[in-house]
C-alpha cells in the first residue's frame, strides 16, 4: 500500500551513530502518540526522547504537529510541537526519531531523507549546521538550557528541550526531498478541500502569526506547545488539538487514512483510547 511505512531513525549521541529501519510489528497502532509510546516502552532503558509524526502528517490540513515524548527514570513527559518539523519528517520518510545517549562534546545533528545523518561536532560547527539541507525544505530545532525553539519561533516543551541540551545536543535539522504516493487521489483532494473549508470549526480564530505546516490559521497560539492528554485520536493522528472538532471523528479520520491507502479499520480507531491508556499505564 502507499505510504505505509513506520520508518524509525535512532540517533545515538554516545557514539555519533544512527540506525534507520522499519518497524513492522506494531499491529493496529496507527502512529503518532501510540507509536511513540510503543517505542518508549521498547527502549525504556535508553531513556530516549521520541519525536513521532502521524499517518496524516504532510498530507492533510491541520495534521501539523510532532508528538514529543521524553522517557526518564522519573516517568514520561508528553508534548506536541508546532512548526514545520512535522512536514519535513514526513518528506524525509521518518515516522519516528529516537534520540538517546549523551555526546562527549557539543554536537549538531543534521538528518537527511532516508535516515542519513551527519554529526557536526563542536560549537564551532554552528554556521555549518545552519547551512545544512535545502533552503525552504528543512526545519531547525535549537536546544538551550533556557528555552528551545523550532524554526526559531515555535517553543519546545522546556523540560524536553533542556534534557536534549544537557545531552550535549545543540541543534537538529531535518531536510526533506522524498516523493510520496497517494492511493486515491480524487478522494484525497476532496477530503483536503472539505477539511480546509471546516477551518471555521477550529477552537481558535484565524490570525496572522507564523503558522504550523499545512495550517492556514496562523493562530495566536501557534508558537505554544500543546499538552491535552484527553485527545487520543488527535494525538495518534498528530493533528492540532484546536482542530479536535474536525479530527476527533472516527469516520472522517478513517476516510482520510483510507484515501492514503492505510489498511486500518474503524475498529482500530475506536480501540485507540484503550490501547493508549494501556501503554501509558506502563510508565
Instruction: By CB under 8 A, name the binding residues for other proteins.
Output: 58-59, 61, 84, 87, 91, 135-137, 151-152, 176-183, 185, 196, 208-216, 218
The β-bridge partners of 175 are 138
CA 205 to CA 183: how far, in whole Å? 33
d(CA 209, CA 108): 28
Least Cβ distance, residue 224 to other proteins (angstroms): 16
Select 181 or 282, whichever has its Cβ closest to other proteins: 181
**Least distance (Å) between residue 111 CB and other proteins:** 15
Q: Least distance to other proteins from the beta carbon of 137, Å?
A: 5
**Cβ proximity to other proteins, 34 vs 61, nearer residue:** 61
C-alpha span between 141 and 149 (Å, rounded): 6
β-pair type (7-12, 96-100): parallel
Separation of alpha carbons 131 and 54, rounded Å: 28
For residue 150, report the phi and psi dihedrals to the nearest 5 degrees: -105, 140
**Residue 260 Cα distances to 55, 64, 86, 279, angstroms:** 9, 17, 17, 26
Residue 248 CB, nearest distance to other proteins (Å)? Answer: 22
Nearer to other proteins, 107 or 213 (CB): 213
By beta-carbon proximity to other proteins, the closer residue of 91 and 108 is: 91
CA dihedral 215, 21, 177, 57 (to 10 degrees): -10
> For residues 151 and 226, which CB has a smaller minimum distance to other proteins in the complex?
151
At its nearest, how many Å lie between other proteins and the CB of residue 196?
8
Amino acid at each position: 500500500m502507499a505510504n505505509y511505512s513506520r520508518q524509525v531513525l535512532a540517533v545515538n549521541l554516545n557514539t555519533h551513530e544512527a540506525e534507520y529501519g522499519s518497524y513492522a510489528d506494531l499491529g493496529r497502532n496507527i502512529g503518532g502518540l501510540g507509536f511513540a509510546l510503543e517505542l518508549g516502552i521498547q527502549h525504556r532503558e535508553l531513556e530516549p526522547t521520541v519525536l513521532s509524526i502521524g499517518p496524516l502528517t504532510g498530507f492533510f490540513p491541520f495534521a501539523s504537529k510532532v508528538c514529543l515524548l521524553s522517557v526518564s527514570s522519573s516517568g514520561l513527559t508528553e508534548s506536541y510541537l508546532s512548526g514545520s518539523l512535522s512536514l519535513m519528517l514526513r518528506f524525509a520518510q521518518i515516522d519516528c526519531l529516537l534520540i538517546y545517549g549523551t555526546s562527549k562534546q557539543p554536537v549538531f545533528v543534521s538528518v537527511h531523507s532516508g535516515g542519513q545523518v551527519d554529526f557536526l561536532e563542536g560549537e564551532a560547527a554552528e554556521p555549518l549546521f545552519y547551512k545544512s539541507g535545502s533552503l525552504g525544505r528543512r526545519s531547525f530545532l535549537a536546544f538551550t538550557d533556557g528555552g528551545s525553539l523550532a524554526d526559531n519561533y515555535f517553543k519546545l516543551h522546556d523540560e524536553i528541550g533542556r534534557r536534549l541540551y544537557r545531552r550535549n545536543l545543540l541543534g537538529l535539522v531535518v531536510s526533506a526531498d522524498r516523493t510520496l504516493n497517494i492511493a486515491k487521489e480524487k478522494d484525497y483532494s476532496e477530503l483536503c478541500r472539505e477539511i480546509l473549508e471546516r477551518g471555521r470549526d477550529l477552537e481558535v480564530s484565524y490570525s496572522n502569526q507564523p503558522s504550523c505546516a499545512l495550517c492556514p490559521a496562523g493562530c495566536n497560539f501557534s508558537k505554544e506547545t500543546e499538552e491535552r492528554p484527553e485527545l487520543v485520536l488527535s494525538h495518534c493522528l498528530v493533528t492540532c488539538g484546536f482542530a479536535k472538532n474536525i479530527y476527533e471523528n472516527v469516520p472522517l479520520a478513517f476516510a482520510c487514512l483510507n484515501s492514503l491507502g492505510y489498511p486500518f479499520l474503524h475498529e482500530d480507531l475506536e480501540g485507540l483510547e484503550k490501547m493508549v491508556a494501556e501503554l501509558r499505564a506502563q510508565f
